[in-house]
Amino acid sequence: MRPILSEAGSPVLDALARERALLVFDFDGTLAPIVPRPADAAMRAETRTLLRVASLLYPCAVVSGRARADVASRLEGVPLLAVVGNHGAEAGFGPVDRSPRREVVAWAEALRAELGDAEGIELEDKGLSLAIHYRRAPDRAAARRRVRDAVAGLPAARVFGGRAVANVVPADAPDKGAAVAELLHRIGWRRALYAGDDVTDEDAFATDGVAVAVRVGRTHASRAGWYLPAQREVDALLRALIEARRKLDRAGECTDALLRATGA
């Protein structure tokens, strides 16, 4: 992995700017810092402003594990092309799907019975998927084992981990990679940048059309070719992408006007 904010990364970002490539971001851990309570997650004011400007210069989308309505409410005021929820299962175009899957309802009932008395373990029902959070458990290792045992027998489920969370989705549900591929197909674009921080983003990193895969946090286990050292650096990435577009317009006048108008 190489740092995207580097001499080697600069021409890569310039190429994305020339093509006006699709920019796709995960939310938690990428656009917003990881927090103890998932319900409290929010972008910094500077990130929101920079994302607004970037969304006027590039087609931009967010693909999140959160329910689409949930993550969309945290992105109000940003002119995004699409917001995709539930790890790719909740489409980014058209009305929000609020209908729960029958198997998800059954899983939720079973898990509440199994884990309802467990301290620090929280079940998040997102209609099309479930997330079992154990970040606040006093013994995180014991909580992880208990969650693993509880989800092991769920029928027709695909289970995958994340940062102190177990995600449960229908076995036939699309992933984040499929979501990005669909976005590219819908808008007729060939290339995209995808930025994410977790195991759930690996499918997107390896998707055809994702020319620049950026992982937040360096690890040798990722399929991303580029990295940001920390979540806070996403602001610097957005600034670099904005600057790459600024260099292409007439002496940067149009982009400078956008920056002044939005206070970035």
208 catalytic? Reply is: no
Residue 132: name the closest of 153, 102, 108 by CA: 108
Residue 244 half-sphere exposure toward CB, CA atoms < 13 A: 23
Catalytic residue of the set 14, 26, 139, 208:
26
What secondary structure, in 3-state letters, does the chain show?
CEECCCCCCHHHHHHHHHHCCEEEECCECCCECCCCCHHHCCCCHHHHHHHHHHHHHCCEEEECCCCHHHHHHCCCCCCCCEEEEHHHCECCCCCCCCCCCHHHHHHHHHHHHHHCCCCCCEEEECCCCEEEECCCCCCHHHHHHHHHHHHCCCCCEEEEEECCEEEEEECCCCCHHHHHHHHHHHHCCCCEEEEECCHHHHHHHCCCCEEEEEEECCCCCCCCCEEECCHHHHHHHHHHHHHHHHCCCHHHHHHHHHHHHHCC
What the block records as the tokens of 201 is 């983003």
List residues with catalytic annotation.
26
